[in-house]
Amino acid sequence: MANCYRCGRHLPEVSLRRRRKVKTGFWVRTRYDTGKTASVNVHYGMRIVCPVCARQMDLESAKRLAMERLGVLAALAALMAALALLKSGQRAKKSRKSFGFWAKALYSV
């Protein structure tokens, strides 16, 4: 007889059981001389969960993955915008030189 690791619900049938990677514990190491945290180890293991908890865990992991991808896309967009601004600044300098006298008169104001 199995129970769900997250909610504790009794799972009599094998067909109701799902296996997911679940946080099973953690270990915190502190330094005695300073009292600061030296390291934190988190342990995960495969455990049996009910279908409701499995669905919730799958949705949480999908949201986490989507947020990570959104962060990467935002970083790439910022990089592309910075490169575009840098490149447009270089073009403006070249165009000022090509106008000669008029460029000095226009941009000195």
Where along the chain do its domains lie?
A: 2-92
Angle at CA of residue 28, ends 22 and 30, nearest 5°: 170
Structure tokens at 25: 């514990």
pLDDT greater than 70 at residue 102: no
Q: How confident is the model at residue 88 (pLDDT cuts 50, 70, 90)?
A: confident
Q: How confident is the model at residue 1 (pLDDT cuts 50, 70, 90)?
A: confident
pLDDT computed for residue 89 by the predictor: 73
Looking at residues 62-71, what average pLDDT do you find? 96
Higher pLDDT, 70 or 17: 70
